Amino acid sequence: MVSPAYADSGNVYISPSSSSVQIDQDVSVDLRINPGTAVNAVQATLNYNPSQLQFLSSNPSAFSTCVTNTGGSGTVTLACASLGSSVSSDSLISDITFEALVGSASDTLTLSGVNAADDGTYTNPTSTGGTITFTSPTVSSSSSSSSSSKTVTRGSIPDLSGSSTGSSTASTSTPTPTPPATPVSTPAKVNIASKVTSAQFNVLNLDITTSTPVQCYVSYGLSKSELLLSTTPTSASTNNTVSLDPSQLVPGTTYYYQVAVKDASGNITKGPIESITTKGYTLSVTVLDSHYHPLANQEIVLHSTPYYAKTNAEGVATFYNVSPGVHHVEYSPSSTKTVSEQVYVNNSFTTKGTVETAQPQSSTVVLTGYKVPSGSVLTNVLIAVLLIILAAELGLVVSVSPLRDKLKFARAKVKNSIPSSVIVSPRDSNTSEADSF
């Protein structure tokens, strides 16, 4: 759909336009808008050099509802709106914080994908970037110079005590004491202890305890190298609770996170990168071969997690903490063959108060590329016959009539199964039917 637009109304810019920061310290810049006309939505991408800056957080202000607020790998992207109201004066879009990774050079912050709108009418604002200069900490040093001169006549021995004998003369001057250099203070390290207090289908809460009052935030993502999401910084306290954004969490998924804290002096301390997994679904899969026979007592793999489980006598394998979506049930009858069928897990949980629950899910798959090997009918019947003969020989058969009925049934099966080359002969003409068989 084509929307009407004003011509270059307003400006989205970075403030301050230039700033400096020492290596390993934080620097914050404001992404602001001078709209020119009332707007209720804005979007922009801030571009930076990831080898010089590490993204820490982005905290929207005037436009508090954001469908996109991500940062990392050289960009910070925001798409935000102010629901039910408009912004008509110079306003803060977001406060963005970085950590300096270098101690020299500079980085030019640029803006791209910039636009603003009022109820779908684009205003096409201009954009203005900024610059960050990196410096190393200044180390105080002082050099003390002491002047000392000794005049020594050739061939004589200098008197180090300051007096002279013989033909030697010496003059000394006492060095002027110089106060010691002022040591560079190192920020005190904050001890951080984090504990997961709730891990549900799309809820992850952490309690963060520190040795001194600090602000806390958590960076997180799907891998250790891409912690692209972050929480809003808390107020300063020694005990903070941080909740990850539920809209960014998927059941049965492992996330990596790192706690960062800022003390009253602005010093940043980061904890180790740890992992946490959301609660997933319970899935029971009935595995059948191509002839619909259950695959009993076999190891099954559920990809793409992968999870491993062994089927029971009915061919049912149960998996836990499974993420929603498409998976594949795999079975390897040999080292050179693997058969697979697709299975789907629904993303369906219910919330009652603060507790999320979900019913176990079940599915049936037919491995069309595999057939369970069947045992020999003749072998099974002969084993049964031998057991009957053994029982008779031991005197365990007390009634012939019921036995005769069973033998007739067994004989019929054998007749249909035994090859013509197999001959069963009676012992003699006076042997009973049971003995003959």
Q: Say what the pLDDT of residue 249 is.
A: 92
Q: Which residues contact 318 (CB under 8 A, 6 or more apart)?
A: 282, 283, 284, 285, 309
Tell which residue, 343, 345, 332, 346, has the closest CA to residue 365. 343
pLDDT bucket at 286, cuts 50 / 70 / 90: very high
Please check the confidence at residue 122 and state whether its pLDDT lies above 70: yes
Three-state secondary-structure class, residue 417: helix
Torsion sign (Cα): 38, 43, 47, 50: positive
Query: Which of 36-40, 163-167, 410-414 shows the highest mean pLDDT?
Result: 36-40
pLDDT bucket at 327, cuts 50 / 70 / 90: very high
CA distance 317 to 298: 9
pTM score, whole prediction: 0.48
Q: Say what the pLDDT of residue 85 is.
A: 82
CA distance 59 to 76: 11
Tell which residue, 199, 207, 195, 357, has the closest CA to residue 278. 199
* Domains and their CATH numbers in the chain: 11-135 (2.60.40.680), 205-277 (2.60.40), 281-367 (2.60.40.1120), 377-436 (no CATH)
- Residue 25 CB-half CA count within 13 A: 19
Q: Say what the pLDDT of residue 304 is.
A: 73
Q: Say what the pLDDT of residue 306 is.
A: 86
Give me the mean pLDDT over the 175-188 stretch.
57
Regarding predicted confidence, which is higher, 69 or 411? Answer: 69
Tell which residue, 281, 286, 326, has the closest CA to residue 309. 286
Provide the residue type at 325 as one letter. Answer: G
Please check the confidence at residue 116 and state whether its pLDDT lies above 70: yes
Q: Say what the pLDDT of residue 140 is.
A: 53
**Reduced DSSP (H G I as helix, E B as strand, rest coil) percent helix, strand, coil of the chain, to 5:** 10, 45, 45
CA distance 323 to 302: 11
Residue whose token pair is 């489980």: 309
Q: Say what the pLDDT of residue 112 is.
A: 93
CA distance 314 to 101: 59
CA distance 41 to 79: 8
> What phi and psi, each to the nearest 5 degrees, are found at residue 231?
-90, 170
Neighbours of 25 (CB within 10 A): 17
Percent of the chain with pLDDT over 90: 44
CA distance 79 to 86: 15
Mean pLDDT, rounded, of the chain:
80
Distances from the Cα of 83 to the Cα of 31, 65, 87, 366, angstroms: 19, 7, 10, 51
Regarding predicted confidence, which is higher, 378 or 382? Answer: 382
pLDDT bucket at 269, cuts 50 / 70 / 90: confident
Reported as type and span, the H/E element at residue 22 is: strand 18-22
Helices (H), 154-277: none
Tell which residue, 224, 55, 102, 19, has the closest CA to residue 45. 55
